[in-house]
Amino acid sequence: MLRQLTRGLRALTNRSATDREITDEVEHYLTQAAAEHEQRGVPRREALRLARLELGNVTTAREQVRGYGWENIVESALADLRYASRRLRSSPGFTFVTALTLAVGIGATTAIFSVVNGILFDPLPYPNPERVVAIRELGTGGAQNAGTFGMYHELAARARSFDAIAVFKSWQPTITGANEPERLEGQRVSARYFSALGITPIVGRAFDASDDRLDGPRVVILSDALWKRRFQADRAVVGKTITLDDDSYLVVGIMPSGFDNVLAPQAVIWAPLQYDLTQGRAWGHHLRTIARLSPGVSIELATREVDAIGRAVLTETRPETYDLATRFDAISLRGELTRGVRSALLAIMAAVALVLVIASVNVTNLLLARGVQRRGEFSLRVALGAARGRVVRQLLTESVLLAVVGGTLGLLVAGLGLRALVALSPAELPRVAAIGIDRTMFLFAFVVTTLVGLASGLAPALQAMRADPNGDLQRVSRRTAGGLGHTRAALVITEVAIALVLLVSSGLLLRSVERLFAVDVGFSSSNVLTMQVQATGHRFDGEGAIGHFFEQALDNVRRVPGVTSAALTSQLPLSGDADMYGARFDPGVPNDPGPNRGTFRYAVMGDYFATMSIPLRRGRLIDDRDRAGAPLVALISESMAKRRLPGQDPIGKRIYIGPAGPYTVVGVVGDIRQESLALAETDAVYTTPSQWPFPDNPMSLVVRARSDPAALTSSVRSAVWAVDKDQPIVRVATMEALLSGSAASRRFALRLFEAFGLAALILAAAGIYGVLAGSVVERWREIGVRSALGASQGAIMGLVLRQGLRMTTVGVILGIGIAALATRMLATLLFGVSHIDPLTYVGVIVLLVATSVVASALPAWRASRVDPVTALRSE
Amino acid sequence: MEDNNTDVIQGTLDLLILKTLSLQPLHGFGIARRIEQISRGVFKVNPGSLLTALQRLERAGWLDAEWRDTENSRRAKYYSLTRAGLKQLDAETADWNRRVSAVARLLKAEA
């Protein structure tokens, strides 16, 4: 065994020495044989001749000896490789085009795969990640509600399925101290939060039950990033206190650097929830619930348990905030995080796979076209005794080599593409930070490259194998259309069909985004600057202190040159804010009995409606009269008035909003889009902060500028800081940016689909051109005969154009069928347009047919210029 | 020249080489001649097949090869039997005998 290996390796690495040895041995044999004949008295020359006769062909003998051993298989593979690379080098144009095609196909597929794999399939970075679940509350119709502390409390006490169960909410404390004040992203979490994820602090300790109680100790855990950035990675910070919102907090732990907090990736600081059960807020829906399953407990089992407990709790306590038909379930945390993007990502993955298929088909087509030109070569090789398998191996080597070149370039493309994807990705994409170039990506690229190489080489190889040496050698110079015309036409038809599917998809997305931006948001976004302002610290503890700060800040901002009007609002449209309450009119008012949707509640200060250009429909706006102590007044939105009070005058009606009220409706204003452009939820109630029982803090500042709003950023900020320089200002954005950001994920998908669709269109056009150009060359003689027999140039052009259109038509018909089915995958991304929108389909068909005519034009023109005399003589 | 079949019986070349080398180390030509001599000309060895077989047997570890000077002072590749080769010879001999006697019995039964 060892001997086989070493001798083989020696033969491979030092072929000439082994060859010499074999030659020497054969030579020796020859001289010995000759010497023997000579001894018997045969003359020297004759003896040599006899010896040669005996040995047979010396070269054959040598080859025979040489052909033994495994190294020869390797060697022939290497020879194939050398030959293949020589062939590829000898036609650089062809190699460049195909390698580039494959590079784009493989690169794009690999990049998208990395993103999709990272988001959808990579397990969460926690121990036993499959046991981490989210607990959901599903209202009637499947709407998902945030969790409540009351329900968490009951589940924690009763459920047996979990090792740990936890709730959390976001928290933005402002840190002060030696460095400048900074508002931090953080979370308030119940005691078992980190246990549920399965990660413990690397320094110090996690929270425990004694931390997480009302008026418990003020303790925090820092993220590695914050610890390094603000505390110079000093371990001694554990056990010291830091100042957050003017309160001292004891640092008890530091999380490890690898801790990826998927539920709030931006969070850098954590404090115990310390929930106040006494304020009657226990049943307010504003928490998220996660849990870690006990070993051996399935998600189904856990779902059954939480549902049973949840229903029991509702029956026992009947909290007002719950729809009694609410169901509860457990779902894998990864599934919950990716729920919103899953279908879009899968659609994008499918689209890029189609691009790869189209790229491979194109390469197959190019190889087939070359195969026709090389028929003579193959036939010659077979005639000279090459086994057909050997010719097939040679061709597959060529296509795999081509794929490897393409794949290597593709990795480059993938690397760049991945960076671009991560940079362009909409904020909704979870876990994007974890996406990078990794082993899986290389493995994927390698597998795809090999498959593409083999697949694209298969048809040409089979074609070569069918080659008939006799016929082909005789025919080598004659131009005739062979049977493979059908194969190539079929491939082009496939390309056209795929291109149609991709183009229809991007067309539908394009129309959706157009529709989306054509939506009347109900306010004017141009020249509006927004930012979030907060009043933090004990200096605002006094009655009315917060309101006073905001009033002063607003006054200062109004005086900034270039500002035409300014206002403050408790929630900003399209910014991700969603503050909803149940709203009900006085019992005496007959109001719509339908399901009580949540009503957005806005507390606004200043000229909010003028600044946002939200029209007043009836009655009056809120003004300076409506201050604390004055009668409570509210405005309601137009559609709320129509839906809740059909046929009645809303002015003067009294309304309760959550825990507050009654407010007297004094005016009706226009509807606006709050959560997203696509959601037409429009029930809204406006009050002033001074007439709302709880302080609204932070507030969003909206500023209408005379010209470019972004240019005012620093002067507006200084105006606020002139009141109190320690107050953090965050989320600075123009309203335009918020508007376009709200469609980010659709636009992201649209961009990708547009790129894929364009690539597919170009490749399909190249495919049509290639086949027609090849067919014109093959039919040279036939065309010559036709024109000799009197066919006009136009008729001959028509011949070629018809051939192109035939392929396109079949492809289009096939594509329409596929597209009608495949675009269902896009359903969640579409808006205001059906997935079988006729306009899109017609547009795409026109585009494809036009492209195919353009692609056919050059071959057709060339055919029309065939000179019958030359064509007929060319034999 | 003659109609007599002088081809080495298929599959026996290895056995013949091993047996020949078990008597003494020889170079390729020597092996061919020795087989012809001992078989009294019944077998003529094709040099191409012989050299290939030698290569194969050497790779299998049954033969050792060494370049040495011959009696008339030319360099030649001498083959000798290894321990493994000897074992292989025994095995192939036993196998051959078994088959020969089987064929003989068959022929007898028909006669």
User: Tens digits of per-residue pLDDT, A252-279?
Assistant: 999 998 888 888 888 999 999 988 776 6
**Cα(A29)–Cα(A56) distance, rounded to whole angstroms?**
12
Mean pLDDT lowest among A102-106, A378-382, A447-451, A758-762? A378-382
Q: Please give the structure tokens belonging to residue A571.
A: 């929630």
B48 and A60 within 8 Å at the Cβ level: the answer is: yes
The pLDDT value given to residue A476: 46
Q: Does A7 touch chain B (CB under 8 A)?
A: yes
A836 or A324, which is more confident: A836
A664 or A94, which is more confident: A664
The pLDDT value given to residue A470: 62
Query: Under a CB-based contact definition with an 8 Å cutoff, are residues A214 and A275 in contact?
Result: yes
Could you tell me the pTM of the whole model?
A: 0.75
Q: Which residue of B has its CA nearest to A55?
A: B47
**Cα(A704)–Cα(A526) distance, rounded to whole angstroms?**
8
The pLDDT value given to residue A287: 86
- Give strand pairing partners of A243: A176, A248
pLDDT tens string A478-488: 444 455 567 88
Above pLDDT 70, what percent of chain A?
A: 91
B48 contact residues in A (CB cutoff 8 A): 55-56, 60-61, 64-65
Query: Under a CB-based contact definition with an 8 Å cutoff, are residues A684 and A670 in contact?
Result: no
Above pLDDT 90, what percent of chain A?
A: 31
Checking if the pLDDT of A829 tops 70, the result is yes
A61 and B47 within 8 Å at the Cβ level: the answer is: yes
The pLDDT value given to residue A634: 94
- The count of residues in chain A is 875
The pLDDT value given to residue A278: 67
User: What DSSP element (H or E) covers A807?
Assistant: helix A793-822
Checking if the pLDDT of A396 tops 90, the result is no
Say what the ipTM of the complex is.
Answer: 0.79
The pLDDT value given to residue A341: 82
Residue type, A74: V
A60 and B47 within 8 Å at the Cβ level: the answer is: no
Checking if the pLDDT of A198 tops 50, the result is yes
Q: Does B47 touch chain A (CB under 8 A)?
A: yes
B72 contact residues in A (CB cutoff 8 A): 35
Q: Please give the structure tokens belonging to residue A250.
A: 């004891």
The residue extents of the domains of chain A are: 2-69, 140-325, 342-517+744-873, 535-727
Q: Which residue of B has its CA nearest to A1?
A: B60
The pLDDT value given to residue A228: 92
Query: Under a CB-based contact definition with an 8 Å cutoff, are residues A506 and A747 in contact?
Result: no
Residue type, A55: L
The pLDDT value given to residue B1: 41
Checking if the pLDDT of A596 tops 60, the result is no
**Cα(A700)–Cα(A684) distance, rounded to whole angstroms?**
17
The pLDDT value given to residue A69: 66
Spatial neighbors of A157 by CB under 8 A, at least 6 apart, are none
pLDDT tens string A463-473: 777 766 666 55
Mean pLDDT of the region A53-79 = 71
Mean pLDDT of the region A787-812 = 89
CA A32 to chain B, closest CA, distance in angstroms equals 7
**Cα(A238)–Cα(A224) distance, rounded to whole angstroms?**
12
A interface test, pick of B31, B55, B69 with most A CB neighbours within 10 Å: B55
The pLDDT value given to residue A587: 72
**Cα(A642)–Cα(A644) distance, rounded to whole angstroms?**
6
CB burial of A724-763 (b: ≥16 within 10 Å; e: otherwise) equals: beebbbebbbbbebbbbbbbebbbbbbbbbbbbbebbbbb
Mean pLDDT of the region A759-770 = 87
CA B95 to chain A, closest CA, distance in angstroms equals 24
Mean pLDDT of the region A33-42 = 80
The pLDDT value given to residue A478: 46
Q: Does B68 touch chain A (CB under 8 A)?
A: no
A29 contact residues in B (CB cutoff 8 A): 28-29, 32, 47, 51
Residue A372 CB neighbour total at 10 angstroms: 19
- The confidence band for A582, taking pLDDT boundaries of 50, 70 and 90, is confident
Residue A465 CB neighbour total at 10 angstroms: 14
Going from the N-terminus, what domains does chain B have, and what CATH number goes with each? 13-110 (1.10.10.10)
User: Which residues 19-48 of A are in CB contact (within 8 Å) with B?
Assistant: 21-22, 24-26, 28-29, 31-33, 35-36
Query: Under a CB-based contact definition with an 8 Å cutoff, are residues A655 and A585 in contact?
Result: yes
Q: Please give the structure tokens belonging to residue A717.
A: 């900020």
- The confidence band for A552, taking pLDDT boundaries of 50, 70 and 90, is very high
Q: What sections of A117-223 are H helices per DSSP?
A: 149-158, 193-197
**Cα(A46)–Cα(A33) distance, rounded to whole angstroms?**
12
**Cα(A804)–Cα(A798) distance, rounded to whole angstroms?**
10
A7 and B61 within 8 Å at the Cβ level: the answer is: no
- The confidence band for A788, taking pLDDT boundaries of 50, 70 and 90, is confident
Mean pLDDT lowest among A326-335, A563-572, B74-83? B74-83
A440 or A559, which is more confident: A559
The pLDDT value given to residue A503: 93
Instruction: Identify which of B47, B55, B74 has the shortest CB distance to residue A68.
Output: B55
Checking if the pLDDT of A681 tops 70, the result is no
pLDDT tens string A291-325: 999 999 999 999 999 999 999 998 888 776 677 77
Mean pLDDT of the region A143-149 = 79
Mean pLDDT of chain A: 85
Secondary structure of B43-100 as H, E, C letters: CCCCHHHHHHHHHHHHHCCCEEEEEEECCCCCEEEEEEECHHHHHHHHHHHHHHHHHH
Backbone torsions φ then ψ of A620, nearest 5 degrees: -130, 165
Mean pLDDT of the region A130-147 = 81
pLDDT tens string A604-643: 999 999 999 999 999 999 988 888 888 999 999 998 888 8
- In this prediction, the residues of chain B whose per-residue pLDDT falls under 70 are 1-8, 10, 110-111
Long-range own/partner contacts, residues A613-617 (CB < 8 A, 24 or more apart)? A613/A523, A613/A524, A614/A522, A614/A523, A614/A669, A614/A670, A614/A672, A615/A669, A615/A670, A616/A667, A616/A668, A616/A669, A616/A670, A617/A667, A617/A668, A617/A669, A617/A670
